[in-house]
């Protein structure tokens, strides 16, 4: 074969292959075998388009999370001291859900729930467990952190039905004592230690609970806003609580003992929603420990957007849900919810 004919044949083959490649690409594009983003990359002079982003909200508190982030991370719950000797608390500014309830006499204690992606460096002081804290944490399928507990609470923990981390029962490595403070009001943990503990306990990373409904805030007109929300626990002024509405930021500043409630870092505690949940109780023993009925249902007042919604609560399929007087389920503002359990 002459050099001229070889060159011509080579050119013909190259042209044929290019033509076949173009036809194949056209067929792939037409039948949709390439995605929209691959098609854009395949066309000359085009860059791939960014995939459309959809808003994502985590189940725990309705907060926006980055695209691709898990929405159902299993939360951590910690029993937090609120005695006068324990103040100020640490880490509550990062909690998504906080419950407050009388434990004995007129002394309140807190159960704070944190998202598993929290970076909180100090949480506490951590205190002992009561049965109703187990009930509340179980609603969120949370890993529960505490230090000892009442006999009734520890008996339930021993059943093995809950994911728990008890500082007094072999889990001390996930806590530390602040020697500058007096025990027992000096025990702390952190989000990092909580994560380590959950991994060591082989707790599943995904939670199994039915989320509350959440919405974006819709502030009331300043002329109609309800500015003060008193919470009536016992008569002891040291545990008197009030929330004051901030129209500019559409949230509520927490006051305790007539003072702005701040954390150990000087951060003012605020809530996007405040719930006053009415419950009944019985005294269990001579110490004054309580059994609180979290199943029967009852009245509730919900405060958000500068408004008060009178309604009620019900326990449905293991979850407490809140409704207005027209039987519509409450949609909370995205963010922090403080639930105040008060006795009728």
Q: Contact 98/336 with Cβ under 8 angstroms?
A: yes
Please say if the pLDDT value at position 114 is more than 60. Answer: yes
Contact 281, 149 (CB under 8 A): no
Residue that the structure tokens 């000096």 belong to = 186
The CB density around residue 315, as the number of other CB atoms within 10 Å, is: 15
Give which of 282, 274, 283 is closest to 333, Cα–Cα.
274
In this predicted model, what pLDDT tens digit does every residue of 152-198 receive, in sequence order? 999 999 988 889 999 998 899 999 999 999 999 999 999 999 999 99
Q: What is the mean pLDDT of residues 321-335?
A: 98
Structure tokens at 244: 């004051």
Model pLDDT for residues 227-268, shown as the tens digit of each residue: 999 998 878 899 999 999 999 999 999 999 999 999 999 999
Greatest pairwise CA separation for the chain in angstroms: 112
Average pLDDT over residues 90-95: 98
Find all residues with CB under 8 Å of 338, minimum gap 6, and list them. Answer: 98, 99, 100, 243, 254, 271, 273, 274, 275
What distance in Å separates the CA atoms of residue 281 and residue 109, rounded to the nearest whole number? 16
Q: What's the confidence (pLDDT) of residue 9?
A: 41
Tokens read off for 259: 């003072």
Cis, bond preceding 184 (omega within 30 deg of 0): yes
Classify 57 as helix, strand or coil. strand
Q: pLDDT of 17-73, one tens digit each?
A: 444 444 443 433 343 333 333 333 333 333 334 444 567 999 999 999 888 788 899
| CA–CA separation, 85 and 97 (whole Å) | 23
């Amino acid at each position: 074969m002459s050099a001229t004919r070889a060159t011509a044949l080579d050119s013909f083959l190259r042209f044929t292959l290019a033509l076949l490649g173009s036809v194949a690409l056209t067929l792939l594009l037409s039948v949709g075998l390439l995605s929209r983003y691959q098609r854009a990359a395949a066309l000359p002079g085009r860059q791939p388009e960014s995939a459309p982003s959809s808003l994502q909200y985590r189940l725990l508190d309705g907060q926006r999370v980055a695209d691709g982030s898990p929405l159902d991370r299993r939360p951590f719950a910690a029993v937090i001291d609120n005695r006068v000797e324990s103040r100020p608390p640490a880490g509550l500014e990062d909690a998504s859900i906080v419950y407050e309830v009388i434990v004995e006499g007129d002394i309140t204690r807190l159960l704070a729930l944190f998202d598993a992606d929290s970076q909180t460096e100090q949480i506490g002081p951590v205190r002992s467990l009561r049965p109703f804290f187990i009930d509340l944490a179980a609603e969120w399928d949370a890993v529960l952190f505490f230090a000892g507990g009442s006999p009734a609470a520890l008996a339930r923990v021993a059943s093995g039905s809950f994911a728990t981390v008890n500082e007094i029962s072999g889990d001390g490595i996930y806590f530390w004592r602040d020697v500058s403070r007096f025990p027992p009001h000096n025990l702390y943990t952190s989000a990092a230690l909580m994560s380590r503990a959950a991994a060591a306990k082989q707790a599943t990373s995904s939670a199994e609970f039915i989320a509350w409904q959440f919405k974006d805030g819709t502030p009331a007109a300043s002329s109609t806003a309800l500015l003060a929300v008193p919470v009536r626990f016992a008569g002891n002024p040291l545990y008197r609580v009030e929330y004051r509405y901030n129209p500019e930021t559409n949230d509520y500043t927490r006051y305790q003992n007539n003072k702005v409630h701040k954390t150990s870092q000087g951060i003012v505690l605020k809530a996007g929603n405040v719930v006053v949940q009415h419950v009944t109780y019985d005294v269990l023993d001579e110490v004054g420990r309580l059994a609180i009925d979290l199943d029967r249902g009852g009245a509730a007042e919900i405060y958000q957007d500068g408004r008060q919604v009178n309604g009620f609560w019900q326990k449905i399929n293991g979850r407490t849900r809140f409704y207005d007087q027209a039987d519509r389920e409450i949609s909370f503002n995205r963010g922090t919810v403080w639930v105040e359990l008060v006795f009728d």
